[in-house]
Structure 1
Amino acid sequence: LSKGADVNAQGGYYGSALQAASLGGHDKIVELLLSKGANVNVQGGHYGSALQAASLGGHDKTIELLLSKGADVNAQGGHYGSALQAVSYGGHDKTIELLLSKGADVNAQGGGYGSALQAASCRAHDKIIKLLLSKGAV
């Protein structure tokens, strides 16, 4: 970055540096990129957004950082469709509760699995399925 790299450059599988760092749960790098002007809601790549990438890995600290910087909890796009669908597929029940507490739409449609309930069902995450149903998933 000190040599002039574009913090918002897009392309490739991950979509952006912020999305790649978020997927790995690299909080310090995420924080650095955001402090240098990275767009927290940039769309693109396989994961759709940084929040969706962090959600797939269940990286709560990264998710909280992204949300505190204005990440859209209901942004659509990417393979998983939404952050809630990504975390449901990943099987991270505590992270699901975090996203739901921040206003994630339990019935959002889209992505390769169609909904969070379908993503959780695909991976037989019983606890997550029960949680989503208790929150009104259909």
Structure 2
Amino acid sequence: MLLEAQADINAQGGYYGNALQAAAYGGNTEIVQMLLEAQADLNAQGVQMLLEAQAEVNAQGGKYGNALQAACAASKGNTEIVQMLLEAQADINAQGGYYGNALQAAASKGNTEI
């Protein structure tokens, strides 16, 4: 209802920082998926918070397959996030999602730095 009313999904403030961080902290995977599909800004600060909270770095599901594949498929190439996920032992060969694996995701978007 709020997204349909054009709520700013990237608005910052409050205890959790933004809607995506609040949903992730609360373990609300369905809401996290909904926010990501609505183009919520997945920033390095949020990723770091999830990793510190022991988020499963290789969790599979959704359009992109896993966090590493999503970061590699980003149109702007989230190199900082990719580096954080690799340092957290993300599986670079994991299969799933629209692109198949992280390398295919990066290649399809022309992310040569990744």
Work out whether residues 81 and 110 of structure 1, in 8 Å CA contact, stay in contact via their aligned partners in 2: yes
> Per-residue CA shift, 1:15-62, capped at 9, x if unaligned?
xxxxxx6xx48551369837xx712xx4336x7498xx4xx8451111
Instruction: Give the aligned length.
Output: 99
Matched, 1:108 2:87: no
Q: What is the percent sequence identity of the aligned residues?
A: 34
TM-score when normalising by structure 1: 0.59
Taking the TM superposition and a 5 Å limit, the aligned residue runs for 1:53-132 are 53=36, 57-90=41-74, 91-128=77-114
Name the counterpart of 1:43: 29
In 2: Cα distance, 1:70 partner to 1:86 partner: 19
The corresponding residue for 2:17 is 28
The whole-number CA distance in structure 2 between the counterparts of 1:82 and 1:32 is 17
What is the CA distance between 1:63 and its match in structure 2? 0.5
CA distance in 2 between partners of 1:62 and 1:73 (Å) = 13
Superposed CA RMSD in Å reads 3.2
In structure 2, relative to structure 1, the CA distance for the partners of 1:66 and 1:49 (3 Å cut) is farther
Contact 1:48 1:76 in 2 (8 A): no
Q: Which runs of 4+ in 1 moved over 4 A?
A: 47-50
Query: Greater helix percent: which structure?
Result: 1
Change (3 A) 1:110 1:30: same
Q: Does the 8 Å CA contact 1:49/1:77 hold for their aligned counterparts?
A: no
Contact 2:92–2:102 (8 Å) recurs in 1: yes
Structure 2 unaligned segments of length 5 or more: list them. 4-8
- Counterpart contact for 2:21–2:46, Cα < 8 Å: no
Structure (1 or 2) with the larger CA radius of gyration: 1
| TM, length-normalised to structure 2 | 0.70
The question of whether the paired residues in 2 share the 8 Å contact of 1:80 and 1:111 is answered with yes
